[in-house]
Amino acid sequence: MENRNKLAFNDGWQYAPAPESTDHITIDKQYELFIDGKSSAPDEGRYFETINPATEEQLSSVALATASDVDRAVKAARKAYKGPWSKMKAAERGKYIFRIARILQERAREFATIESLDGGKPIRESRDIDIPLAAAHFFYYAGWADKLEYAYPGRAASPLGVAGQIIPWNFPLLMAAWKIAPALACGNTVVIKPAETTPLTMMKLAEVIRDAGLPDGVVNIVTGAGETGAAIVDHPDVDKIAFTGSTDVGRIIQRAIAGTGKKYTLELGGKAANIIFADAAIDQAVEGIVNGIFFNQGHVCCAGSRLLVQESVADEVVQRLKDRMETLIVGDPLDKNTDIGAINSAPQLETIESYLKIGKEEGAEMYQSSCSVPERGYWCRPTIFTGVSQSNRIVQEEIFGPVLAIQTFRTLEEGLTKANNTPFGLSGGVWTDKGAKIFKMTQQIRAGVIWANTFNKFDPTSPFGGYKESGVGREGGLHGLGAYLKLEAQQ
Amino acid sequence: MTSATARVPVEKTYKIYIDGKFPRTESGRYFALKDSAETVIANVCRGSRKDFRNSVVAARKAFSGWSTASAYLRGQILYRIAEMLEGRHEQFVTELVTQGVSKRAAKKEVDASIDRLIYYAGWSDKYQQVFSAVNPVSSSHFNFSVLEPTGVVSIIAPDDSGLLGLVSNLAPVIVGGNTCVVLASEQLPLCAVSFAEVLHASDVPAGVVNILTGYREELTGQFASHMDVNAIIVTDDDVVKDVQIAAADNIKRVVARADTKWGSDSAAHPYLIQDTQEVKTTWHPIGS
C-alpha cells in the first residue's frame, strides 16, 4: 500500500548512546538469605549465579535456599507475627511501610539501574515505571494499615498470619511491592522468594527494610528456583500463598495446597486481545499496540499479544505498525534511548524462538523489524504474525515475548467472540472513538483489566487480576486487601 | 384407610431440571428414597455425568442473557421465586415431613427459605454499589472497578438441608448474574425437584438454574473438574481437598462452605454474592 508518511527517526541522524551510569551503585559479590532481620548463609551452602542478560556476564552469586532455610524463614515470620507485628498499633505498622516507600524514592535511581542490569529491561521503563510504582504501592497500602475497618462493611477484618509469596522475573521489585505492601498493611508477616534470574533488587530491598527499622522477621527473603518456591507452598505453617507466574505453575500450587485451608491468590498467564475499530484514532492505536506488546520485551502477563483489527483498516494499521516497529531501538537496557531491552534469560529466549518456529509452521506470515541486535546477550527483534487463525498455538498460548499475532474481524460481535476465545482472561484493550461501543466492549470482554484507548497502565489504587485461567483474586486497590485478611461477622 | 370408593392420589414423578425442561436422567437410572420404615417414598433420578455435561451447555448458553439482564429484573425474578414458594408453602412442608423432618422444623425451614429469597432479591441492585470503586489513579485516566459474575457455577448443595441449604447457596449465585448447575441433597432430594418447578413458574430463563439429583460420590468429581465451569461451591467438608485438586485443571474458583448453620441469620450476607463475582477494572484517558 502507498505509504507517504513513513516514520524515519533513524534516517539522516543517529542517536548518540546515552547510557545510565553504574558508578553510583554497588552490587555485592555474594548475597545471603535475609532471615529474621539478618543476613543468613544457606544451610547447604549452595549459591547460584545471576547474570546480566544483555552481556551474559555474572553480576553476583546468590544463596540457594532449601526447605530447611525456608523453615527458618517461616519460623522467624511466625515469631514476628506473634510478637511485635500483631501487637503493634496499626498506625505504627503503617508508619514503617511509609518509611519503606520513602527510602525507595530516595534510592530510586540505584534500584532502576540494578533492575535493568539484572533483568534486561530498558532503563526508561525501570526508571519511570517499575521503581516509582513500587514506591507508590508501599505508600498507598501504608495508609490502609489503620483504616481496615472501613474497607469491608459489616465484617471484622483480621490478618491471616504468615504469607508465602512467590514473584516473577518480569517486574521484580514492583511485584515484590504488590505483594509485601498489602500483606504488611493487613498485619501479616512475609516469606518472599524472588525469581532466580532477578534476585538483586530484592536483596537491595532487604537493605531498605533493615534501614526502615522493621522488626526482625517481619519480611524474610529466600532466594532460589522452583524447589525453594515449592518449599514455601508446602510449608505447613504458612497461612497464605500469593503467586505470580505461569498458569501451569498456578495449577500445581492450587493442587499442592488443596485441603490445607491455606488462602491463595494466583496471578497467572494472559493472551490479551487489543481490539482496534475502524473509527479509532489510528495513530494513537498504533502507539497502543506497540506499548501493548513491546513494553518490557513483551514479558508482561497482561501484554496485548493478540491484535484484532477491523478489516476495513487492517492493511493501514499493519503498515503503520510495521513502520513504527522500524523505529524501535533494540539494545543496551541501560541506554536511555533503548525501547526494547534484553530477553530475560536464555531459556526464555529459547521459548520465544520455539514459538516463532511454531507460528511459521502453522502457516502464519512472520515479519520482524530490520534493526540490529548486539552480538552477546539474549535478544529478540519485535515480531508480528499475520494470517493466523483462532486455533493457532500462537493465538491461544502465552509466548511472553515481543511477538504479536494479528487477526481481523468485521463486526463487533466477531471481534468480541475472538477476543474471548482463549482460556485466559487477564486483560484487554479497545480502541474506538465511540463511547457506547467502548462500554459495550469493556462490559463484554471477559477479563479483569480493560484498557480503553490506552494500554498497560498500572496504579496502586487500581485492582489487577484475571478471570478464567488467568488467576484468582485481585492485587492492588481496596480489593487487593481481601487477599490478606480474614473477614468474619462483626460481633 | 382404603375403601372401594376412596380416590387414589396421583403421585409425582421426581425428575431433574435441565435447560428449563424436566427430563428423566438420560442414563435411565434411579435410586429409591425410603422413609424410616423402609417404605419407598419416591424413585429419584440417579443423574449421570452426561446429564451434568448437558446442564453445563445449557448454563453456558443462558449466561450471556442472564449476566446482562438488569439488576432490577434479576431482583424481581428472585422476588417472584419467593412469591411462588410462598404459594406452595404447604407442599414443601409436607415434602420435608415425608422425608423425616419434624413438622415444626419443616415450617421454619420453608419460612426461612422464602425470606432468604427476598433478602437476596433486595441485594440485586445494591451489592454493586457496596463493592465497586472509583480508583483515584495518579495518571490522567478515569478508572473504576465493578463486579461481574464469574460465569457458570457448580453448586454441591448441603446434604443435610434439602430446601434452605439449596436456596441459601443458589440465591447469591444467580442474583449476581451467574448461571449454575446444582447437585441436590442426596438424602433429602425431593424439595430440590419441587423447587425447580417453582423456578420454572417464576420467569427464571431456561438454563440459568439446572438441578440434578443423584449420588454425590459419583458426581462431585465431575462438577469439580468440568473445563467450562468457572467456580464450584462445596458444602461437604470431606471432599474439599479432592474438589480443589480437580478444580485446578482450569483454575476454577473453589468456595468451601462446610459447617454453616443455614438456619441462622448470619448465613445470609452479601459476601456470599461476592464469592462468585470477579472484579473488573476499566481505564480510560481523560483528555480532549
Q: What's the confidence (pLDDT) of residue A6?
A: 73
> Is 80 exceeded by the pLDDT of residue A113?
yes
B130, B244, B284: residue with CB nearest A453: B284
Residue B223 lies in a domain: yes
Q: Can you tell me which residue has the cell 532487604?
A: A206
Confidence of residue A15 (pLDDT cuts 50, 70, 90): confident
> Cell digits for B172?
447469591
> Is 80 exceeded by the pLDDT of residue A1?
no
Percentage of chain B beyond pLDDT 90 is 94
Domain extent at residue B193: 30-260
- Which helix H or strand E contains B92, and what residues bound it? helix B89-98
- Closest-CA distance of chain A to residue B28, Å: 34
A365 is catalytic: no
What is the pLDDT averaged over residues A401-406? Answer: 98
Helices (H), A162-281: 172-185, 200-211, 226-234, 247-256
Best B249, B282, B286 member to test A by mutation, with max A CBs in 10 Å, is B282
> Is 70 exceeded by the pLDDT of residue A65?
yes
| ipTM computed for the complex | 0.96
Instruction: Give tens-digit pLDDT for B71-112.
Output: 999 999 999 999 999 999 999 999 999 999 999 999 999 999
Residue B56 lies in a domain: yes
A227 is catalytic: no
Q: What's the confidence (pLDDT) of residue B5?
A: 85
Q: How far apart are CA A400 and CA A403, in angstroms?
A: 8
> Is 60 exceeded by the pLDDT of residue A2?
no
Angle at CA of residue A310, ends A306 and A313, nearest 5°: 110
> Cell digits for B272?
456470599
Could you say which of A301, A302, A371, A380 is catalytic?
A301
Write out chain B residues lying below 8 Å of A266, CB-based: 251
**Which among B144, B143, B138, B182 is positioned nearest to B163, based on CA atoms?**
B182
Asked whether the beta carbons of residue A467 and residue B242 sit closer than 8 angstroms, the reply is: no
Residue B92 lies in a domain: yes
Question: Across the strands, what pairs with A159?
Answer: A485
SS (H, E, C) A267-301: ECCCCCEEEECCCCCHHHHHHHHHHHHHHHHHCCC
Q: How far apart are CA A277 and CA A433, in angstroms?
A: 9
Q: What's the confidence (pLDDT) of residue A152?
A: 96
Residue B208 lies in a domain: yes
Instruction: Give tens-digit pLDDT for A415-469.
Output: 999 999 999 999 999 999 999 999 999 999 999 999 999 999 999 999 999 999 9
Confidence of residue A3 (pLDDT cuts 50, 70, 90): low
Residue B243 lies in a domain: yes
Mean pLDDT (chain A, rounded): 96
Q: Provide the CATH number for the domain around residue B43.
A: 3.40.605.10
Confidence of residue A14 (pLDDT cuts 50, 70, 90): confident
Residue B277 lies in a domain: no
Residue B237 lies in a domain: yes
Q: How far apart are CA A185 and CA A236, in angstroms?
A: 23
- In chain A, the domains with their CATH numbers are 30-268+468-489 (3.40.605.10), 273-452 (3.40.309.10)
Q: How far apart are CA B42 and CA A127, in angstroms?
A: 71
Could you say which of A267, A397, A398, A475 is catalytic?
A267
Q: What is the dihedral of CA A377, A378, A379, A383, to 10 degrees?
A: 170
Residue B232 lies in a domain: yes
- Closest-CA distance of chain B to residue A59, Å: 35
Q: How far apart are CA A464 and CA A177, in angstroms?
A: 14
Lowest mean pLDDT among A421-425, B104-108, B261-265, B278-282: B261-265
Q: What's the confidence (pLDDT) of residue A9?
A: 67
Q: What's the confidence (pLDDT) of residue A11?
A: 66
Task: Judge residue A281's burial from the number of C-beta atoms within 10 Å of its C-beta, 0-12 exposed, 13-18 middle, 19 or more buried.
Answer: middle
Instruction: Give tens-digit pLDDT for B4-56.
Output: 789 999 999 999 999 999 999 999 999 999 998 999 999 999 999 999 999 99
B/e letters for A418-433, b = 16+ CB within 10 Å, e = fewer, are bbbebbbbbbbbbbbe
Whether the CB of B136 is below 8 Å from some CB of chain A: the reply is: yes
> Is 90 exceeded by the pLDDT of residue B1?
no
Q: What's the confidence (pLDDT) of residue A236?
A: 98
Query: Distance from first CA to last CA of chain A, Å, rounded?
Result: 70
Q: What's the confidence (pLDDT) of residue A13?
A: 74
A251, A450, A478: residue with CB nearest B282: A450
Question: Considering its fold, how many domains does chain B have in total?
Answer: 1
